[in-house]
Each structure stands twice: as structure tokens, then as C-alpha cells.
């Protein structure tokens, strides 16, 4: 897994603690997936589920079987992604003291459409667990109306900008 943390600046902290990374993955709810549609960049927001096993992070998203993202992913499986949570604007006496605190994950991966029926059912349950915290099961009939895209993450970084003057800053 590639380490992307090099460019993280003074006011923004690299997050390496696994528990904190899991907290952020549980909280963000929406992933922005960037794809390359020929010469054009195409970014879409989607809800996701994730699995973090040892060092390997995998996302699952689901949607209609037809549409631009499916065409793009099938033509070029390389994707980038970003998600954020804990977004809180803060203010100050001068314009330069205004800002936004946040927790953020971004990275890149390889997308594929999940064809294995067992993996597809599992992926839909994972998505519901991430999104709702609850256990749901699916039948093959329910799953048959959607496509599930798996993103195997090949590198990611996590960073956090705390509110200035708080314990974390
Ligand atoms: C918070 C959030 C969560 C979402 N979660 C999911 C999800 O879990 N699963 C899912 O399938 N979809 C989700 N969507 C919708 C998703 O962003 C796409 O609109 C949808 O998946 C269709 O993508 P497509 O490439 O097939 O679009 P197409 O219908 O093929 O797109 C045609 C054109 O419509 C425009 N378009 C597509 N999507 C959007 C958009 N979101 N906003 C503005 N213009 C758009 C673009 O110009 C695109 O070229 C979510 C959207 C939001 C905002």
C-alpha cells in the first residue's frame, strides 16, 4: 500500500491511528469518486460500504446497471476518491483566521464490477452496515436490479485539520 502522507502540512495532521481512520470511514457516508472519461474527468458522489482488512481498504458502491459511471469504469478502472466529515467552519478577528476544520481521506484504486453472486450479496450488506450501522441481508432477486462496484484501494492518506486553540490543534 502506497504511503501518501508526505505532503501533509503543519496545520493539517496526518492520521495514522487505525481506530481514528475507522471512525472517519464510518462517519463520512459519501465518497466522491473521480474517473477518467476519455480526456474528461468525471466525479460522482455516492454512498459506500467499506472493508478494512489488515492493510487493505476496499470500498463497495452500488447503482443502476446502466449509466455514465458504469461505462467509464468498464473502459478505465483507475479511480481516485475523496471523502470528508467533521466539517466545521471557524472564525477569527481577521479574514486569514477563518477556516474549516475537517477529517478527510483520499486516495486511488482499481474499480471492478462484482460478478460473484455471494460477494455481491455480502457487499450490499456491508454497504448497509456502513450507512446505517445495522445488519441487513439481501436475496439474489433484490441484488439483481443493481450493479455493485468494488474499489480496491492501492494507496490512501488520512488527514485532519482541528479547530485552532482546541486540544487537538
Ligand atoms: C449524497 C449523494 C449520494 C449518492 N449515492 C448514490 C449511490 O449510492 N448510488 C448511486 O447510484 N447514485 C448515488 N448518487 C447519485 C450519483 O451521484 C449519480 O447521480 C448516479 O449514480 C448516476 O450516475 P451516472 O454516471 O450513471 O449518471 P448518468 O445518469 O449516466 O449521468 C448523465 C449525466 O448526468 C449528470 N449527473 C450525473 N450524476 C449527477 C449528480 N449527482 N449531480 C449532478 N449531475 C449529475 C452528469 O452531467 C452526467 O454526465 C448519490 C448522489 C449524492 C449527491
Domain ranges across the chain: 2-154
Please indicate whether residue 92, judged by its CB atom, sits closer than 6 Å to ligand 1. no
Question: Cα separation of 139 and 66, whole Å?
Answer: 21
pLDDT for residue 4 = 60
Question: Cα separation of 74 and 111, whole Å?
Answer: 8
Please indicate whether residue 160, judged by its CB atom, sits closer than 6 Å to ligand 1. no
Please indicate whether residue 30, judged by its CB atom, sits closer than 6 Å to ligand 1. yes
Percent of residues, the chain, with pLDDT higher than 70: 92
CATH topology of domain 2-154: Pnp Oxidase; Chain A (2.30.110)
User: Ligand 1, atom 13: nearest CA belongs to which residue?
Assistant: 46
Which of 79, 77, 15, 14 shows the shortest CA–CA distance to 43?
Answer: 79
Tell me how long the chain is: 169
Question: Among positive and negative, which fits the CA dihedral 109, 114, 119, 124?
Answer: positive
pLDDT for residue 165 = 76
pLDDT for residue 99 = 93
Residue 42 clears pLDDT 70, i.e. is over it: yes
Residue 62 CA: nearest ligand 1 atom is 9
Q: Checking DSSP bridges between strand 147-161 and strand 2-3, what pairing results, if any?
A: parallel
Residue 50 pLDDT class (50, 70, 90 cuts): very high
pLDDT for residue 5 = 60
Residue 48 CA: nearest ligand 1 atom is 8
Q: What is the pTM of this model?
A: 0.93
Please indicate whether residue 47, judged by its CB atom, sits closer than 6 Å to ligand 1. yes
Residues 6+ apart with CB under 8 A from 81: 31, 32, 33, 34, 59, 105, 106, 107, 108, 109, 151, 153
Amino acid at each position: 500500500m502506497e504511503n501518501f502522507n508526505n505532503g501533509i502540512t503543519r496545520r493539517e495532521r496526518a492520521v495514522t491511528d487505525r481506530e481514528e481512520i475507522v471512525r472517519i470511514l464510518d462517519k463520512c457516508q459519501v465518497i466522491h469518486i473521480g474517473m477518467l472519461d476519455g480526456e474528461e474527468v468525471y466525479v460522482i458522489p455516492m454512498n459506500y460500504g467499506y472493508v478494512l482488512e489488515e492493510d487493505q481498504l476496499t470500498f463497495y458502491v452500488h447503482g443502476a446497471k446502466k449509466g455514465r459511471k458504469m461505462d467509464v469504469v468498464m473502459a478505465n478502472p483507475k479511480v481516485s476518491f475523496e471523502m470528508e466529515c467533521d466539517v466545521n467552519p471557524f472564525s477569527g478577528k481577521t479574514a486569514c483566521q477563518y477556516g474549516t476544520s475537517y477529517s478527510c481521506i483520499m486516495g486511488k484504486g482499481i474499480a471492478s464490477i462484482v460478478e460473484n453472486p455471494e460477494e455481491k450479496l455480502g457487499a450490499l450488506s456491508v454497504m448497509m452496515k456502513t450507512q446505517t450501522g445495522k445488519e441487513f441481508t439481501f436475496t439474489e432477486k433484490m441484488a439483481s436490479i443493481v450493479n455493485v462496484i468494488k474499489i480496491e484501494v492501492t494507496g490512501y492518506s488520512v488527514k485532519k485539520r482541528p479547530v485552532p486553540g482546541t486540544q487537538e490543534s
